[in-house]
Each structure stands twice: as C-alpha cells, then as structure tokens.
C-alpha cells in the first residue's frame, strides 16, 4: 500500500473513532471494549508515534489477563506487540498511554513493560474502565468530599518502583525466562538547556519518580498543537524559559469538550494537580537493550493537567495555569549572567526544580570553576507574607561535590520548610536569587580560643582571641572584644565561640525543629533570623532558664512564668532551656567559619 494512501487511511480511522466516541468519558460502553470479553489469543491494535507526528498502528495479541495485578480490582491485560518495529525497539519509554483497540473499541492504554535489559515486546495494558474512574472521581466527588486542592497529595498511588510479577505460565510461553516483572513504562523527561553537571547531580532524584532523562528541546508553537488525537504525544511542563523540563507520554483518548486521558499510569502520583500541559513531538525512537526511548521535543502549552492518578493522567485543553517566575543572576569578577525561568507550584517538586535551575545557572557560566567561594543573596516572595530572605556563603572543600550544589540544596531546604509548614498553604509569587562567585577558597576552622583573664566584673570589657586555621593557609588570630553586661549575676558563665549554625542550634533550637507556631509568618521570621555562616560568634551563656513559646525567646524567665506554664494544659510549642543568652558578639569574616570552642568565665 502506498505511504500516502496508508496515511490517509489512518487519518480517516481517527476521524471515524472521534465520531463514534463522542460520549466516551460519560461511560458509554458501546465505544469501549469490556474487560470480561478479553481472552488469550484476542488480536488488536495499538496506536503510537515512532517518528515525527505520524501515529502508526502496531498489531498485538492478548496473552492473558492478570487480575488484581497492581491492587484490588486493578487488573492488567498482558499483550505482545507484533511487527518489525515493535520487535526492534520493544516497549518504548514514552509509549505509556498508547490506546489499545479490540474490534474497533477502546480497551485501554499500554502502561507496563518487562523489566530492564530486555527488548521483548511484551507489555501490560491498563483497562479503559480503570482509566475512566479518574474522570468520574474528578467530576463526581463523593457526598461530603471537598474539591481536592491543586497541591493535595494522592494516597493509594502506584509507585514508580512497583513491579508486577509475570506468572510462570506466561514466562514459559513467551520464552522470557522466570523471575520477570512488569514495571511502569518509563516517562521520558524532555530537557533543554541542562548541563551535564546538572544531570549528574540531580538525575538520581528525578529517576526516583520513574523518569528517564533524555536530551530534547523546544519546538516552535503551532496552531495545530491543540488538535490532539489518540496516539499523539503530550508533555507536562515543569520548568520553562532559559531551561525547560517536561515529562511526556501518549494520549489515550480526547473528548469533544477537550478532556484528555493519557499515560495509563501516574507521572508522579500526586492526585489533584495544576500543571501546564504541552504538545509533544517525537524526533526519533532510540532502540536500546537497556531501555528504548522516544527522543522528544516539547511544543506550545495547550492546557492544564488536573489529575495524576493511579491509572491515568487527566487534563483539559485550553489555557495553562500560572507558574512561579524565578530569576537567577550569577555575578563573576568580570561578567554577569542572568537567567529567567518559570516553575510549577508543587510542594513536592518546586523545591527540587528551583534548586536544579539555580545549580544549572551557576555551572552554566564559562567563567565559573571549582575552587570558587559562592555568596548567596536573594528573596522568596510569598503571597500575603514577609519575604523569605536568602543570605549565606559557601566554600568548596576536598569532598568531590561542587560548591554550587551546596547553594542549590540551601535553596531547596528553605523551600521545603515553607511548603511543608502545617499552618497554611504557601503561595510563592516569585524567586530572586543572586550568586556572587569569589575566586578563592574562603574557609577557616576554629582551632582554639582563649581570653585575657578568666575572672571578670560586670561592665568590664574583655578581649577574646580565636585561632583560626584557613584552608591550606597560615593560622591567624581574630580578636573579638566583649563587654560583660552590667546586670550579669555573679557566678560561672559559659562563653561559646562558634559558627552561626552551632549558635542557632544552641540558643534558638525552635528555628531548626519548626515546633508549633501561630502560623506561617512566624516560621518565616524564624528562618530570617537564622545566623550566617561567614561570621565568627562569641556568645555568653548563663545558667538561668530560657522560655521558648512559639516564635518568642524569653531568656532569664522568672519562676512565676514557669509556674504558670506548668499549670496550663495546652501551651503549644512551649519549651524550657536550662541556659539563657547573656550577650552575643560577632566579627564579619567574609569567609565560611566552622567549629566551636567553649570557655569558662567567672563573674565576681
């Protein structure tokens, strides 16, 4: 059959399917193939793309039905793909969602494959009835249920690492050997603008979601992008701008109102979501004994992904949801580079994505090199709240981890604390990050500390001398003058010489543990008052009780307050420390300080 005639036949077939299936999502059983009629030997077809935007037919035969394979009433149809292309590539990453038809009726979507290191064209099909449950649950919540928020996390998910044992009868019949498992087909993670260093640092975290990182790119938007049909490719936009990342899979069905079913398994298992949906295009299909995959590009935003469930993802054609703008500036001694991104708002993914984008911006400068100290400055704008301020210094060490990675994980950690707060859902309006590179290792360790005298009087000024040992440099002494507060009681005091992190842990442990607080604003205040690691601190501690209530620190708490605290039955977040801050001094060192020493001073 001539190629042009074959293409026209396929186009006619998809038009016919769309005309015959106007009410598919309403559960019209006349257009779907019942699972109870599926039997071994039943022949059918799947539709997918190997190259370009041409949807191709792949013949298949049913090997059997695996009942309760991925959970109660979660059956899987075991099939074998036939034909030269399927035998060459096996089941390919990106085929997830490829619609499967028997007798012209939609039976489900290809979603599983045999484990790694096999090109056997054997796969699992998620029945269409299970996929339609996603649409029913989204539009008809149970009485008493509230509409799930876009940031809600789904429970009872199908983890990316789930494996379905292949029964012995099918192993022997297909010749694949015993001990084989069906696993979810990998989701290609289409990336553009990622440097190899970024992939090396973050690939493990991304692959834990069941994704395979592949080189891709961005395609020019086209008016035809939103004209989807079964077998086409869609992506989910995680980052866009100077860097773009979007996982992609295959469309199973499209309803006349623009509702889209795809994948046949979850992408992240997040439940109700709000993520931009894009048109995907296949450049080529790469055959591999380890894992064949589609090399893809991502086109225009064509809608919003609203559901990410166990048996399918569901979206709506139209406008995409808003994203968080992120600006990253890298300032070098003689050059400054600026990057602009937008990332999705997701408690699970946004911290990782912002960290990845920050790291990618740092390593992307040709002037950047290892051995540089990095200074972080920036703000996270949170709707209705004080901005979270970012300020710290990071110096490389002999561990083979880039200093840029420490900057990225600092940003990731703060984002995680904001999003995981138990008080209210945080909405980020924007992120502004500036990283200044200093062309040397600025790092010193506290080696020793002493004072001129160990006995002092209230109001007296004493010089504290600290011996610091820099990275591969000569030790030097830094002096910090401290004045004993006039109201200090007589007795023995502890003088803590330390870095900022040690001091935070000692005198303000609530900031690190995030104990019960009145709300998000108080958490932001705790984060903003955390000390920097480029200062040397001298802290005078006295053996009196400190009362910590919510975000308040009350040193030298009188016994009357403590008695009241003991008598109250519900004092959320109240804690007692058996020492109080008598005074604190610091010296700006403009280098990372690490270590601690404790001295004893007697007040006469």
In three-state secondary structure terms, 311 is coil
In three-state secondary structure terms, 137 is helix
pLDDT tops 90 at residue 402: no
What tens digit of pLDDT does each residue of 232-256 get?
999 999 999 988 899 999 999 999 8
Considering the domain architecture, whether residues 539 and 485 belong to the same structural domain is answered as yes
Q: Is 268 left (phi over 0), alpha (psi -120 to 50) or beta?
A: alpha
Structure token pair of residue 305: 């992904």
Bigger pLDDT: 27 or 226? 226
Q: Tell me the C-alpha distance between 394 and 374, whole Å.
A: 5
pLDDT tops 80 at residue 29: no
Q: Tell me the C-alpha distance between 450 and 70, whole Å.
A: 65
What pLDDT shows up at residue 336? 86
pLDDT, averaged across the chain: 82
Last residue of a domain, one of 397, 418, 438: 438
What tens digit of pLDDT does each residue of 428-459 get?
999 999 999 887 889 999 999 999 888 999 99
* 358-386: average pLDDT: 85
Considering the domain architecture, whether residues 216 and 301 belong to the same structural domain is answered as yes
pLDDT tops 60 at residue 135: yes
Strands (E), 131-268: 164-165, 181-184, 187-192, 211-215, 217-218, 233-236, 239-241, 244-254, 259-262
Longest dimension (CA), the chain: 104
Describe the crossing of helices 403-419 and 350-363 by its angle, rounded to 10 degrees.
160
> Which is nearest to 125 in space by CA: 282, 311, 313?
311
- CB–CB of 182/76 below 8 Å? yes
Last residue of a domain, one of 421, 438, 455: 438
What pLDDT shows up at residue 83? 93
What pLDDT shows up at residue 557? 55
What tens digit of pLDDT does each residue of 545-564 get?
655 555 455 555 555 555 55
What pLDDT shows up at residue 13? 47
Which position has the token pair 């085929």? Answer: 95
- CB–CB of 219/298 below 8 Å? yes
> Which is nearest to 93 in space by CA: 301, 296, 260, 307?
296
pLDDT tops 70 at residue 114: yes
Supply the DSSP string of 423-455, one letter for each residue: SS---EEEEEEEEEEESS--EEEEEEEEES-SE
In three-state secondary structure terms, 492 is strand
Structure token pair of residue 546: 């400190």
**The Cα angle at residue 211 between residues 209 and 214, in degrees rounded to 5:** 150
> Which is nearest to 107 in space by CA: 87, 130, 88, 89?
130
Which position has the token pair 């979270």? Answer: 388
Considering the domain architecture, whether residues 125 and 213 belong to the same structural domain is answered as yes
Residues of the chain with pLDDT > 90, as a percent, come to 45
Considering the domain architecture, whether residues 350 and 292 belong to the same structural domain is answered as no
What pLDDT shows up at residue 398? 73
pLDDT tops 80 at residue 96: yes
Considering the domain architecture, whether residues 426 and 466 belong to the same structural domain is answered as no
What pLDDT shows up at residue 275? 95
Q: What are residue 381's DSSP bridge partners?
A: 430
Q: Which domain holds residue 190?
A: 1-321
Question: φ and ψ at 177, to 5 degrees?
Answer: 90, 160
Element (H, E) at 412: helix 403-419
The CATH number for 421's domain is: 3.10.20
- For residues 570, 575, 581, 585, the Cα torsion angle rounded to the nearest 10 degrees is -100
Considering the domain architecture, whether residues 369 and 447 belong to the same structural domain is answered as no
454: Cα within 13 Å, side-chain hemisphere: 7
> Which is nearest to 326 in space by CA: 244, 405, 425, 410?
244
Work out how many domains the chain is built from and give that number.
3
Structure token pair of residue 366: 């040709």
Considering the domain architecture, whether residues 255 and 308 belong to the same structural domain is answered as yes
Last residue of a domain, one of 299, 321, 343: 321
What pLDDT shows up at residue 71? 72
> Which is nearest to 404 in space by CA: 252, 190, 577, 197?
197
pLDDT tops 70 at residue 197: yes
Considering the domain architecture, whether residues 393 and 303 belong to the same structural domain is answered as no
- CB–CB of 435/330 below 8 Å? yes
Considering the domain architecture, whether residues 205 and 130 belong to the same structural domain is answered as yes
Considering the domain architecture, whether residues 428 and 464 belong to the same structural domain is answered as no
Bigger pLDDT: 304 or 162? 304
Question: φ and ψ at 416, to 5 degrees?
Answer: -65, -40
Considering the domain architecture, whether residues 371 and 478 belong to the same structural domain is answered as no
What pLDDT shows up at residue 6? 44
What pLDDT shows up at residue 419? 92
Considering the domain architecture, whether residues 191 and 223 belong to the same structural domain is answered as yes
């Amino acid at each position: 059959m001539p190629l042009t005639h074959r293409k026209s036949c396929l186009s006619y077939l998809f038009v016919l399917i769309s005309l015959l299936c106007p009410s598919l999502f309403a559960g019209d059983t006349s257009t779907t193939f019942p699972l109870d009629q599926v039997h071994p030997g039943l022949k059918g077809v799947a539709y997918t793309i190997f190259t370009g935007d041409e949807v191709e037919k792949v013949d298949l035969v049913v090997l059997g039905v695996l009942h309760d394979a991925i959970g109660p009433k979660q059956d899987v149809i075991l099939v074998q793909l036939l034909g030269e292309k399927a035998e060459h590539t096996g089941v390919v990453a990106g085929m997830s969602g490829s619609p499967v038809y028997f007798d012209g009726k939609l039976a489900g979507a290809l979603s599983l494959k045999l484990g790694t290191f096999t090109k056997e064209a054997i796969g699992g099909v998620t029945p269409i009835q299970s996929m339609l449950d996603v649409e029913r649950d989204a539009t008809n919540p149970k009485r008493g249920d509230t509409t799930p928020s876009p940031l809600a996390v789904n429970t009872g998910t199908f983890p990316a690492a789930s494996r379905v044992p292949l029964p012995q009868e099918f192993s022997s019949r297909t010749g694949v050997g015993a001990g084989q498992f069906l696993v979810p087909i990998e989701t290609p993670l289409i990336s553009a603008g990622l440097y190899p260093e970024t992939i090396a640092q973050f690939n493990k975290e991304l692959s834990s979601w069941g994704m395979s990182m592949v080189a891709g790119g961005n395609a020019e938007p086209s008016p035809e992008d939103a004209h989807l049909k079964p077998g086409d490719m869609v992506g989910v936009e995680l980052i866009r701008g100077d860097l773009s990342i979007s996982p992609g899979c295959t469309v199973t069905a499209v309803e006349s109102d623009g509702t889209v079913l795809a994948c046949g398994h979850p992408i992240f298992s997040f439940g109700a979501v709000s993520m931009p949906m894009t048109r995907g295009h296949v450049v080529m299909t790469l055959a591999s004994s380890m894992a064949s995959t589609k090399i893809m590009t991502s086109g225009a935003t064509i809608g919003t992904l609203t559901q990410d469930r166990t048996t399918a993802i569901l979206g709506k054609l139209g406008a995409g949801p808003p994203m968080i703008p992120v600006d990253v500036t890298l300032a070098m001694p003689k050059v400054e580079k600026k990057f602009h991104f937008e990332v999705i708002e997701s408690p699970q993914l946004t911290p990782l994505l912002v960290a990845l984008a920050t790291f990618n911006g740092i390593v992307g400068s040709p002037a950047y090199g290892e051995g540089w100290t990095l200074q972080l400055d920036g703000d996270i704008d949170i709707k209705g709240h004080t901005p979270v301020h970012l300020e710290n210094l990071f110096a490389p060490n002999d561990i083979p981890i880039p200093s840029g990675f420490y900057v990225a994980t600092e940003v990731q950690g703060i984002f995680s604390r904001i999003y995981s707060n138990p008080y209210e859902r945080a909405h980020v309006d924007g992120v502004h990050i500036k990283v200044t590179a200093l062309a040397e290792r600025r790092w010193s360790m506290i080696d020793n500390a002493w004072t001129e005298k160990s006995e002092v009087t209230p109001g007296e000024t004493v010089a504290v001398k600290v011996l610091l040992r820099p990275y591969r440099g000569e030790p030097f002494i830094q002096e910090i003058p401290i004045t004993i507060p006039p109201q200090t009681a007589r007795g023995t005091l502890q003088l803590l010489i330390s870095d900022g992190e040690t001091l935070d842990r000692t005198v303000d442990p609530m900031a690190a543990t995030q104990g019960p607080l009145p709300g998000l604003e108080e958490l932001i205040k705790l984060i903003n008052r955390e000390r920097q690691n480029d200062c040397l601190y001298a802290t005078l501690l006295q053996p009196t009780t400190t009362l910590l209530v919510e975000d308040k620190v009350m040193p030298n708490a009188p016994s009357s307050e403590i008695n009241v605290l003991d008598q109250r039955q519900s004092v959320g977040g109240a804690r007692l420390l058996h020492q109080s801050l008598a005074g604190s001094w610091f010296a700006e060192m403009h280098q990372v300080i690490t270590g601690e020493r404790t001295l004893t001073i007697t007040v006469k």
